[in-house]
Amino acid sequence: MKIVILDGYTANPGDLGWEGLEMLGVVKVYDRTRPSETVARVADAEIVLTNKVVLGRAEIEQLPQLQYIGVLATGYNVVDLEAARERGIIVTNVPAYSTESVAQMVFAHLLTVTNRTEHYALQNRDGRWTESPDFCYWDTCLTELSGKRFGIVGLGNIGQRVATIANAFGMKVSAYTSKAESELPAYIEKKSLTEILAESDVVSLHCPLTPDTRHLVNAQSIRLMKPTAILINTGRGPLVDDQAVADALAEGRLAAFCADVLTEEPPKAERTAEGRLQSKNPLLAQPNAFITPHIAWATTEARGRLLQVATDNVRAFLNGKPVNVVS
């Protein structure tokens, strides 16, 4: 079997190995693949692994030998499932590999806002503390999490883990979820979305992106939130209206926005008249927007699990008992 990996670099930039897959077939790894290169690179492969390279109907119809598509992620919208089904191609994903890492990132972002450790570390490399007339100093608001309300939108694996950690911080946890109240731990209070937005000191988004949840956070919903609230998005970029959030930050109607995802990734930029590179995403110009480049999933441990499950998926397929099938 020939196995082609179309965009292996993000999952494995060289610190991990492909040995498990190499025991199952002849493996060809491409760091990145442009759309125009996809069909040629996969033409003689039976098995293809992809993270973000699209395998749509147009590509699938040109690949007569293709039998299996493994998505190196949990989301599988990069594959045309209907086209795959018509061809009898098995499509699998890797569920729940990054739960701990993403939950950790939620609180890394939250503590960035409440404690500003990087801000002080950078200042003190430049001698700020050395010059202080007192034994300590602070020039930002420092906030204690205990007793604050943490609202979670979407209570899947990551949402539940975030709830556990918030509870450990002594926060009051509420969730907007389809789960019955009887299914929830005693420390999670089920609430409507309106209540979550209006009452929470922190709102964290963990719901899937659907037509109903696109721009779930918009100008109207932000008006329901406290001006002191912190909004966190480690789910999908389009869950929020970037411009509406940027406007709210600029006008002081939202205290902070933390995100590991944006509507467009990477964000596009343009040259100003002075020749400077300026992002087209309005959030990146806001000092109270804390944006990381979609790395919540990318801890060494999570990527190791990702590659292991992806390998196990291929092995199960070859043994005639495919698992984690989404097609």
Q: Which residue is catalytic, options 214, 253, 294, 315?
A: 294
**CA–CA dist 111, 229 (Å, integer):** 14
Angle 264-265-271 (CA atoms, 0-180°, nearest 5)? 80
- What's the distance, CA 50 to chain centroid? 17
Q: Which residue is catalytic, options 161, 236, 303, 305?
A: 236
**CA–CA dist 103, 219 (Å, integer):** 27
Are the beta carbons of 74 and 236 closer than 8 angstroms? no
Beta strands in 2-73 (DSSP E): 2-5, 26-29, 47-50, 68-71
DSSP code of 221?
H
Q: Is residue 265 annotated as a catalytic residue, yes or no?
A: yes
Query: Which phi and psi (to 5°) does residue 230 adopt?
Result: -110, 125
Length of the chain: 327
CB environment 164-185: b (16+ within 10 A), e (fewer) = ebbbebebbbbbbbeeeeeebe
Q: Is residue 236 annotated as a catalytic residue, yes or no?
A: yes
Determine the residue type at 12: N
Q: Which residue is catalytic, options 37, 144, 251, 265?
A: 265
Antiparallel, parallel or unpaired: β 90-92 and 68-71: parallel
Are the beta carbons of 93 and 73 closer than 8 angstroms? yes
Are the beta carbons of 195 and 224 closer than 8 angstroms? no
Residue positions annotated with a catalytic role: 236, 265, 294
